[in-house]
Chain A
Amino acid sequence: MRNDLWRLLTGLGIAFGIPWLFLVVGPYFRLTEEAPVMYGAEESSGFMGFPDPNMNRFGESDYGAELYGREGCAYCHTQVIRPTYAGPDMWRVGWGGREGEARETRPGDYAGEGYAYLGYQRIGPDLSNVGTRIADRLKKDESGLTDRQWHHLHLYAPRQIERYSAMPAFQHLYKKVPAAGRESAEALPLKKEFAPEEGYVIVPTPEAEALVDYLLSRRKATPLPAAMRPMVSAGTETATEG
């Protein structure tokens, strides 16, 4: 009976081992070790090469991604912009990046993140480029909010920003302080409906600042080095030789 066992186990092992090696483990290490593509001398993306782990950093904190994970944000928000053959993501204003720069997300856009929160469902909008999308939107309206303020307001009282929002409020990331105190300089400009009682204001905790840093770092439309872009036509591109 030993023969049967080993024959069967070998069959099972091969059937599973091949895809395991070629679909999962191989690509995992290949993509991990992929060398960045350098930018040409005339390109001004602010980085030496693509990808660069600093592309996904913003502000001083570095634990925003953990907060994003622990609050389960990725169950309702994706961070993936599909090319036009696979979905209409790039046509939505600001989703694929700034006008004229919009593009689909590439593996390099998630460099240094450990885990790419590609997401599960889109109950809320995609966040790949929320860092630039909100800033651009605020430039056009008359609210006078900074993008950091906007994100804090949206996290503390989503329905002040969007009446029919289905997003939970993350009130535990904020604290209530006396309006006269030293901390009140950071107070959120809440409408009466969402504001605490008279004499108090709401200010962000360091955790809220870290989460907003993370959201502001979502800019996955960094221009690609010329070497990674298709040639549109001679003359319109300042492509580096080779």
Chain B
Amino acid sequence: MSLDLNQATSEDIRERAAIDRSVRWPVLFFFTSAAAWLAVATLLGAVSGLKLSLPRLWESCPAMNYGRLFPMHMIALVYGWAMQAGLGVMIWLMARLTRNELKNSVTIIVAGHIWNFGVSIAMLAVWFGFGRSMPWLDFPAWIAPILFVGYLMTTLWLVPMFKARRAGEVYISEMFLLGAAVWFPWIFATSVLLVGDDGSAVMSAGTNGWYMANLIFLWFVPIGLASAYYLIPKIAGRPVYSYPLAKIGFWSLIILAPWTGFNRFIGGPFPAWIPAISGAATILLLVSVLATAINFWKTVKGDSKAKLWENSPTLRFTMFGALMFVMYGVLGALSSYFSFSKVLQFSHFVIGLDTLAVYGVFSMMIFGAIYYIVPRVTGCEWPSGKMIRTHFWFSTYGIGTVVLTMLLGGFAQAGQMNQWDSSFILSVEVGNRWVVGRIIAWLLITFSNLGFFYQLALMFFGRGRRTAGATLMPESAH
């Protein structure tokens, strides 16, 4: 391990500052536009839930039907917020790890505009009735190349950066980043070409499920973990607890994850081995999840008694994301197990699990990264630690509410649904009561992000605090 932890020379500091300056505008562009999409996504989450609870609302307006609002919510959350924020973290992290200044910031900002343009028309297309009912791939196929070009123009620069890095061992974060950079085009192109084409209809739907699982495990998770593996040792002030363990986590993830996804349809119209192998891979992924979680925990805890996560926003968000990662791994494994899939498959639990992956795991880790990165690229500190605290707690309440109500609601709904001799409408009534939890959760999350948006805007315009010390989260007032 050669993370030069606390012995930074003045030359190191100057070098880092130069790198941070070189990525300033692309990174801020991605973060701020991602934040704007996050606002749209969280509001749509609440509004779509409201429409589901009160189906007589806006009855004559097709654009306000659940079948259009919900896919829009997912597109805004996945492509608008999560992927865009992830791209910002990728650029900064790769530049820092390989110690390269970014020379193509204009190209990347152009690419960012292309990406945002793609997301915007995808949203409008679904809204005005050109959607396709294909989760996370709802937009018409001709929009995919726009997103594809935007993505490639952004991440292509990571490869020469990696090539030009200094000698020494390859950092685990670099491996995660490089993997994520090359897998997405592969996964995306495969899915866009196969899903909704004229070939096998069931494999087309299955590939859709595979796409969602792979976007989570081979893009969101690697980027979240790359950021965690960089930030946790930095803040804890000691190297990663075990490098071999980190490598076990990495390779087990990337060997197993591409097999997952078809377990969304256990018992579906596929050759029986396909969902079975996906389910088995999801259960085995617990090895990777636990190896990673233990590594983080040991690194943070170390031998000191100081509770760093109480004060550092970055560490708090990152560790919470890691905790949610364990939860996601366990719940995913459970739902791949026949006795549970029998009950939970197609219940509200599904939506809880998908939300947990995108918001609970990835977004929380990315918030941690953003709280670390933005002060460094702008040269000023976050104005208010209190607002960060509010952001953390209300996001936590929100995601907790989603997961809890959708899990319990899923069991309640499915329990009723599986009473095969009672009327189906009972399961609708029992299940939809819990949708109220979803509305409340998205409102909590929307509220939690208000402070985040405000502070991010101040930082964007260079209006943060000008002090030497980092902004911490005062926990005593809570």
Contact = CB atoms under 8 A, between A and B. Distances in A.
B323 interface: no
Given A16-B254, A106-B269, A73 B133 contact: yes
Interface in A62-86: 68-76, 78, 80, 82-83, 85-86
A172 B62 contact: yes
Contact of B59 (A69, A78, A171): A171
B348 interface: yes
Contacts, number: 237
Given A19-B259, A115-B132, A71 B67 contact: yes
Contact of B200 (A32, A71, A167, A168): A32
A169 B428 CA distance: 16
B431 interface: yes
- Interface magnitude class on chain A: 35 or more
A114 B182 contact: no
Interface stretch (B5-13, B201-209, B327-335): B201-209
B347 interface: yes
B7 to A, nearest CB: 24
B350 A2 contact: no
Given A31-B200, A107-B270, A109-B269, A124 B175 contact: no
A92 B424 contact: yes
A185 B170 CA distance: 75
Interface of A: 1-2, 4-5, 8-9, 12-13, 15-16, 18-20, 23-25, 27-29, 31-32, 34, 68-76, 78, 80, 82-83, 85-88, 91-92, 104-107, 109-125, 158-159, 162, 164-172
**A-B residue pairs, 10 tightest by C-beta:** A72-B67, A86-B267, A82-B267, A31-B200, A74-B133, A19-B258, A110-B201, A91-B420, A32-B199, A116-B201
Interface of B: 51-52, 55-56, 59-62, 65-68, 70-71, 129-135, 159, 162-165, 167, 170, 175, 178-179, 182-183, 186, 190, 194-208, 210, 218, 251, 254-255, 258-259, 262, 265-271, 274, 277-278, 338, 341-342, 345-348, 350-351, 417-418, 420-421, 424-425, 427-429, 431-432
18 contacts: A1-B163, A8-B170, A25-B194, A29-B200, A69-B132, A71-B68, A72-B65, A80-B269, A87-B267, A88-B418, A106-B269, A116-B269, A120-B351, A121-B350, A168-B67, A169-B59, A169-B60, A171-B60
